[in-house]
């Protein structure tokens, strides 16, 4: 049993080019390295939600031998009998090696309890993509949702969200909700403005077009992360696309003119037309942790200007350098300069922090191929060597001898003082 587990872990580690996520959604055989699995007992699943130490995992398929014994799914659920949903925990071994599990992860399940709907996550497959905030793995695109009114659309806030989305290197889609609250002329002005930024927005209203045909086409058969400020209608959009979900929604604050937070955690929902949709907690100011060079690549306007021409200096920051091809009359240049100051400050703060120790170690497998595996925490799990223990013991002896010598000298000084007093 131990050899089989080691072989499985090695096969997962050696898989450098995993297949696209949606290709695993169909039940069948699964191949990891030189080993294949014919049933979900040793098969794969996708993490749909994470709460505390429990993980909701949808399996890719159900073994025929147990399919008749599994309870039928809820009528409001979009999953089928062939793709059961299990409530799983994480093996303690994964916790010891620092392997976290997040929404969207492809995982291998062990010892499933079909009647109780429980299981255990034994391994996590290599991630194709990974987002840190929100923590989502294997996403294909980001769908940024903003409102044309209530709350009002702020260009600098939109720029921060777009830069954050561009930094993930995922496909970025932009949607403008609540078009029924503005005129057609205002809609066209925003469309023309965003086209100059390098984006083609989807302008819609959930009140007048509840079906959102254009949105369905954009999201079909993809893993999409829905993000944006609070109160723009992200949860309402998911409720329209997937009526069975029925997410909690909230009104915009009348005093602040901003949305109230209603989504508290990240969860993947299945679209009726195919694909997965992730609703994320809203926030008004996304954190940016980019270098100045990375920041410049997150602006389509800069990429377009440097496509055929180049600046005089390779490390040009497009600020006040001579012969810079980026400086010019484009709308978001002030946004870029403002974010550039943050990027420079972040880079300087990172330079003052020492490099952390690597969390991976190189290990030779049974077949002679080298692979990386998580490394145990040095100070937590490594036993001190005998040499260091012996040295510590010798230091303790030396300290004790020095203390005793000091005590003897104090006693002799006291005796001499008493003799002189008697004389």
Contact 68, 18 (CB under 8 A): no
Distance between terminal CA atoms of the chain? 87
Phi, psi at 119, each rounded to 5°: -170, 180
Is-contact 122 86, C-beta < 8 A? no
Banded pLDDT at 19 (limits 50, 70, 90)? very low
Query: Token digits for 291?
Result: 């270098």
- Tens-digit pLDDT profile for residues 263-285: 456 788 888 888 898 877 755 67
Going by pLDDT thresholds of 50, 70 and 90, the confidence category of residue 190 is very high
Q: Cis peptide before 124, with omega less than 30 degrees from 0?
A: no
Q: What is the CATH number of domain 2-128?
A: 2.40.50.140
Name the most confidently modeled range: 50-64, 317-331, 359-373: 317-331
DSSP class of residue 60 equals: S
The maximal CA–CA distance of the chain, rounded, in angstroms, is 113
Instruction: Confirm if 9 and 99 have CB atoms less than 8 A apart.
Output: no
Q: Which residue shows structure tokens 């223990």? A: 389
Spatial separation of the C-alpha atoms in residues 207 and 252, rounded to whole Å? 16
Is residue 389 pLDDT above 70, yes or no? yes
d(CA 373, CA 359): 9
Range(s) within the chain of domains with CATH label 1.10.40.50: 288-376
Distance from C-alpha of 197 to C-alpha of 218, rounded to nearest angstrom: 20
Between strands 118-124 and 106-113, the pairing is antiparallel
Instruction: Quote the mean pLDDT of the chain.
Output: 76
Q: Looking at the chain, which residues constitute the CATH 3.40.50.300 domain(s)?
A: 136-279
Q: 3-class SS at 114?
A: coil
Q: How many CB atoms lie within 10 A of CB 173?
A: 21
- For the domain 136-279, what is the CATH superfamily, name and number? P-loop containing nucleotide triphosphate hydrolases (3.40.50.300)
* 32-60 pLDDT, tens digit each: 444 444 444 456 899 999 888 899 998 88
Q: By CB neighbour count within 10 A (0-12 exposed, 13-18 middle, 19+ buried), where does 408 fall?
A: exposed
Give the helix/strand (H/E) hosting 123.
strand 118-124
CATH of the domain spanning 288-376? 1.10.40.50
Token pair belonging to 159: 């720029």
In this structure, of 11-20, 75-84, 226-235, 366-375, the range with the lowest mean pLDDT score is 11-20
Cα distance between residue 183 and residue 280, in whole Å? 29
- CATH 2.40.50.140 in the chain, residues? 2-128
């Amino acid at each position: 049993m131990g050899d089989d587990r080691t072989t499985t872990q090695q096969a997962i580690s050696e898989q450098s080019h995993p297949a696209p996520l949606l290709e695993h959604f169909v039940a069948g055989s699964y191949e990891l390295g030189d080993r294949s699995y014919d049933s979900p007992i040793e098969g794969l699943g996708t993490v749909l939600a994470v709460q505390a130490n429990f993980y909701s995992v949808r399996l890719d398929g159900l073994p025929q031998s147990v399919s008749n014994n599994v309870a039928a799914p809820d009528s409001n659920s979009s999953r089928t009998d062939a793709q059961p949903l299990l409530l799983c925990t994480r093996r303690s071994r994964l916790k010891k090696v620092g392997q976290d599990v997040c929404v969207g992860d492809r995982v291998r399940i062990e010892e499933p309890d079909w009647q109780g709907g429980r299981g255990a996550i034994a391994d996590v497959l290599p991630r194709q993509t990974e987002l840190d905030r929100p923590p989502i793995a294997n996403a294909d695109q980001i769908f940024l949702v903003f409102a044309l009114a209530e709350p009002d659309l702020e260009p600098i806030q939109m720029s921060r969200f777009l830069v954050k989305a561009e930094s993930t290197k995922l496909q970025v889609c932009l949607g403008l909700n609540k078009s029924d609250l503005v005129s057609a002329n205002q809609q066209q002005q925003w469309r023309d403005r965003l086209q100059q930024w390098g984006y083609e927005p989807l302008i819609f209203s959930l009140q007048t077009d509840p079906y959102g045909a254009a949105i369905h086409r954009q999201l079909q058969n993809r893993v999409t992360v829905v993000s944006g400020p609070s109160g723009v209608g992200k949860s309402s959009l998911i409720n329209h696309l997937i009526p069975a979900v029925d997410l909690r929604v909230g009104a915009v604050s009348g005093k602040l003119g901003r949305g109230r937070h209603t989504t508290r955690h990240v969860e993947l929902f299945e679209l009726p037309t195919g694909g997965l949709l992730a609703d994320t907690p809203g926030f008004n100011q996304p954190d940016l942790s980019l270098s100045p060079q990375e920041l410049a690549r997150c602006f389509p306007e800069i990429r377009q200007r440097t496509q055929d021409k180049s600046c005089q200096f390779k490390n040009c920051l497009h600020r006040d350098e001579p012969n810079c091809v980026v400086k010019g009359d484009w709308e978001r240049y002030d946004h870029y300069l403002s974010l550039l100051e943050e990027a420079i400050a972040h880079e300087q703060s990172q330079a003052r922090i020492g490099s952390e120790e690597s969390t991976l170690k190189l290990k030779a497998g049974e077949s002679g191929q080298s692979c990386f595996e998580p490394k145990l925490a040095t100070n937590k799990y490594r036993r001190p060597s005998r040499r260091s223990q012996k040295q510590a013991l010798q230091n303790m002896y030396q300290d004790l001898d020095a203390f005793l010598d000091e005590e003897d000298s104090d006693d002799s000084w006291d005796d001499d003082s008493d003799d002189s007093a008697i004389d």
